[in-house]
Amino acid sequence: MESIFGTDGIRGVANRYPITPELALNVGRAVAAVLKTNNRARIFIGKDGRLSGDMLEAALAAGICSAGADVYLAGIIPTPAIAYLATINSADAGIMVSASHNPFEDNGIKIFNSLGYKLEAAEEERIENLALNPGQGLVPAPPEKLGGINHMLDAWDRYIEFLKRSLGKINNLNGLRIVLDCSNGATSMIAPRLFSELGASVTAIANRPDGLNINENCGSQHIETLQEKVREKGADIGLAFDGDGDRLIAVDENGEPVTGDHVLAICANHMKQAGMLKNNLVVSTVMSNLGLINALKEMDISHIATDVGDRYVLEQMRKNRAVMGGEDSGHMIFLDHHTSGDGIMTALRLIEAMQLADEPLSSLRRIMTVYPQVLKNVRVRTKTDIYKFPEIAQTIERVEKHLGEQGRVLVRYSGTQPLCRIMVEGPDPEETRRLCQEIVDVVADKLGE
């Protein structure tokens, strides 16, 4: 049977396997059993506001309590806040109910250990084995040792204070005009409050979640409305978060996008000049644009590329003692401040670089030249080894040979959805689109639904 864990926890359509209340209950029990470090385990739970969030939160909490552990409910709050709250409260684990940037009908379960890090593969395997086979190791607590449920009334306050303390050489944002796109998700209340308290003039959009509108034509994957609003308001910067608040895509004062790769380049340059870039190293994934790689070379900064997924970025950061890494999608990790990707913290780091350089974001983004990149998705029946199909392998080889050192090709499956992702970079936009479509057509023919 295929593992219920993907590259970022458990994810799928709500109320369908594996995102069912029945399995969530057993996952809660298993998390309490596997990650328990104290005589009476304490586990924090947050959610991003999807309609199905209450159902899964309740099921997880019931499972945890039945295992004799206590639950602390933080309510609607960003994923990185759960990692933080679990750590500072000496909890055994933190669980986030979210499907990140996916549409509202999806949901998921992300799990953090007592140190605020996502789980190792071995921990996920133990939890999965217990959750799928509850009769073979999950022992219910006796009535006198059942856990209880506690509601955290100060979760937002504590997370906001943590973000404020992370500010470097700036302590206010007085005079800065910001437009926030909260993706109708977990940052909808926290982000506008934080930036206003720091002194910025804030315009917030997509900050009215109703359970169904999360990520709908808004947020880090749909920045068109944000771009228009930044131009309309004459703002200095636009900030778009995803549904659970662990990603950031920015927009400069002209409405031009500032991707995760841009943020990596800008912040790496700032941190190196300030003497804060430990080991002179940045970690990103194979999806990063060639422009970032070239920019880091020009800045004489070392670079490591990992497989796609923030867990792999973090793994290499910890292994090589780097303090900065991330993905072009906007998932950034500043390990000197936090154990998890954090969209709001990334925004603060980017604004810090702007203010200390005393330059507009449009100027800073020119630190890297973006190679034309085309990324297309093909919905697939199964995730069969791509290279078992000679026609696909031959097409990829032909495109790679044509591009040579002026571009590259990356074909991979999504870790969270039934999609094959085809990415092609090249020196010419039209040619890059044409070459990408050639691969898309053959993948769709051999593997598509």
- At 37-95, the pLDDT tens digits run 877 899 999 999 999 999 999 999 999 999 999 999 999 999 999 999 999 999 999 99
Is the same domain home to 290 and 349?
A: yes
- Residue 113 has phi, psi (to 5 degrees) of -85, -175
* Rg of the chain (C-alpha set): 22
Is the same domain home to 39 and 145?
A: yes
Let me know if residue 239 belongs to a domain.
yes
Label residue 159 exposed, middle or buried (CB < 10 Å: 0-12, 13-18, 19+): buried
Tokens of 262: 């841009």
Is the same domain home to 227 and 303?
A: no
Domain boundary (367, 395, 428) is at: 367
Residue 205's Cα: distance from chain center in Å?
Answer: 20
Tokens of 67: 């295992």
pLDDT score for 102 = 95
Is the same domain home to 139 and 43?
A: yes
Are the beta carbons of 373 and 289 closer than 8 angstroms? yes
pLDDT score for 1 = 60
Q: Give dist(CA 386, CA 411) in Å, integer.
A: 8
- At 136-184, the pLDDT tens digits run 888 899 999 999 999 999 999 999 999 999 987 788 899 999 999 999 9
Let me know if residue 204 belongs to a domain.
yes
Is the same domain home to 117 and 214?
A: no
Let me know if residue 62 belongs to a domain.
yes
Domain count, the chain: 4
Is the same domain home to 9 and 78?
A: yes
Domain boundary (256, 271, 292) is at: 256
Q: Give dist(CA 248, CA 257) in Å, integer.
A: 11
Average pLDDT, the chain: 95
Closest-CA residue to 284 (of 270, 294, 274, 298): 294
Domain boundary (96, 120, 155) is at: 155
- Residue 424 has phi, psi (to 5 degrees) of -130, 130
Positions marked catalytic: 100
Q: Once rounded to an integer, what is the mean pLDDT over residues 406-421?
A: 87
DSSP H/E element including 311: helix 310-320
Per-residue pLDDT band at 431 (split at 50, 70, 90): very high
User: Half-sphere exposure (CA, 13 Å, Cβ side) for 272?
Assistant: 16
Is the same domain home to 320 and 185?
A: no
Is the same domain home to 189 and 270?
A: no
Q: Give dist(CA 58, CA 341) in Å, integer.
A: 26
Domain extent for 363: 259-367
* CATH number of the domain bearing residue 234: 3.40.120.10
Q: Which DSSP letter does residue 9 get? A: E
Let me know if residue 286 belongs to a domain.
yes
Is the same domain home to 384 and 321?
A: no
- Residue 142 has phi, psi (to 5 degrees) of -65, 160
| Cis peptide, bond prior to residue 192, ω within 30 of zero | no
Let me know if residue 161 belongs to a domain.
no
Percent of the chain residues past pLDDT 90, beyond the cut: 87
